[in-house]
Structure 1
Amino acid sequence: MAVALVVTSAAGCQWPRDADGTLDRVREGTIRVGVAHNPPWTVTGGDAADGQPPEGVEAVLAQRLADSLGARVQWVRGSEAELMASLAERGLDLVVGGLDAQSPWSQDVALTTDYLTTDTVVAVPAGSATEVAGQRVLVREGSTDAALLPDHDATAVPVADLPERPDAAAVVPDWLVDAIGLTDTGTHLSSLDHVMAVPPGENAWQSTVERFLLALDDDEVRRLLLDNHRAGA
């Protein structure tokens, strides 16, 4: 009798469950997606009043997620801090913006399982020596990777923008190396595990988002990154 009651009870419950019913509300409804500007992952563009949706890889993915649920997207542009505060208060259903699994917001919101890992590498023109020690390496100004180059006995050369096809060693994301005619030296400086963010306690909704993300093909996501890079995102 006890076993039968447990089975009956479990059968009548949705698991995992949302504390605030997000999944039931957004399915065939509206997903409120916060977008922080972080090319090529997200490109917020101009004024939201122009009716144009944001661009970038994760904007595409968020729209695909909505399509899979028969939902429309309400885009909300803002800074990462503004969006995360709204997400924590359940004013949004999803935040995208090239977030990393080590995000400092993980105490306030729920981060999905990472769906793609990218590395930042030192790459050189084809035919060049792949020994990084002693080289002067181009690196985007403000990048935290510049501080890691001395650990490899290399000298950072900060530049406002990397050339389209660098003629010297440069710090670039791994998905871009081949496309700009460079060769990976094997020196990887940092790694990012990419995630999205959902409100805390919305377990059924988070599970749905994660199933969507984990079903993505890595190669396709990397192609989207390249497409956005070529488009100037």
Structure 2
Amino acid sequence: MRRWRRASSVALLVIALSVTGCGITIPSDPQGTLDRVRGGELRAGASPSGELVTVDGSDVGGSLADLVEGFADSVDARVTWTVGSEEDLVDALESGDLDLAIGGMTDATPWSQRVSVTRAYEGVPGAHGPVVLLVPLGENAWQADLETYLDREVAP
């Protein structure tokens, strides 16, 4: 039993060193979303939803939009908004045309089979319960950075 544990520990060490040597970071973004957005453009989708997301012509506002704008500032990016239905925004996330989408989505969203869903946040002004943001599947570093920001900004 002791030999098996030692062999397992050595094997894990070899794997860890191999991965480190390859330059792989965890979490990672296969499509490079976080690296592309930093210092560039954050392509955000908005679906109108009460005080959370307001749309007036080309202006997007509301408490969720303010959070997205603040997050963009934190990564030195400018936000370009696309307004549409939830389904249109999910399609755009899947095709790589958007980096995130906001609206009145909750953790019970039916879109979780097609896109990734952030943790639920209850302290968003204007929300009538926990809300989530949608991001492309597999962009884990991007989602982790966004959730870290939201954890700091949204009261528990």
TMscore range, shorter length = 0.7 to 0.9
In the other structure, the counterpart of 1:197 is: 134
Deviation at 1:94, TM superposition (A): 0.5
Distance 1:42 1:19 in 2: 29
In the other structure, the counterpart of 2:150 is: 213
For normalisation by structure 2, the TM-score amounts to 0.83
Distance 1:108 1:205 in 2: 17
The runs of 5 or more residues in structure 1 that have no matched partner are 119-174, 177-190, 220-233
For normalisation by structure 1, the TM-score amounts to 0.57
1:10 aligns with 2:33: no
The alpha-carbon distance between structure 1 residues 72 and 10, as it changes in their structure 2 partners (threshold 3 A), is same
In the other structure, the counterpart of 2:81 is: 75
The amino acid of 1:10's aligned partner reads T
- What is the identity percentage for the equivalent residue pairs of Structure 1 and Structure 2? 37
Secondary structure of the corresponding residue to residue 17 of structure 1: coil
Q: How does 1:1-233 map to 2 (within 5 A)?
A: 3=13, 6-7=16-17, 9-10=19-20, 12-46=23-57, 48=58, 53-116=59-122, 192-218=129-155
Distance 2:154 2:111 in 1: 27
Distance 2:89 2:41 in 1: 17
More helix by share: 2
Conserved? CA contact 1:88–1:109, under 8 Å: yes
Deviation string, structure 1 residues 179-212 (Cα, Å, up to 9, x no partner): xxxxxxxxxxxx7321100001111101111111
More strand by share: 1
Distance 1:217 1:92 in 2: 23
Distance 1:95 1:213 in 2: 14
Deviation at 1:116, TM superposition (A): 1.6
Distance 2:133 2:19 in 1: 33
Conserved? CA contact 2:121–2:154, under 8 Å: no
Number of residue pairs aligned between Structure 1 and Structure 2: 144
Conserved? CA contact 2:44–2:79, under 8 Å: yes
Conserved? CA contact 1:31–1:66, under 8 Å: yes
The amino acid of 1:38's aligned partner reads S
Distance 1:93 1:70 in 2: 15
Deviation at 1:117, TM superposition (A): 5.8
Deviation string, structure 1 residues 91-113 (Cα, Å, up to 9, x no partner): 10000112101001111100001
The alpha-carbon distance between structure 1 residues 198 and 217, as it changes in their structure 2 partners (threshold 3 A), is closer
Deviation string, structure 1 residues 208-229 (Cα, Å, up to 9, x no partner): 111111112428xxxxxxxxxx
Distance 1:16 1:212 in 2: 16
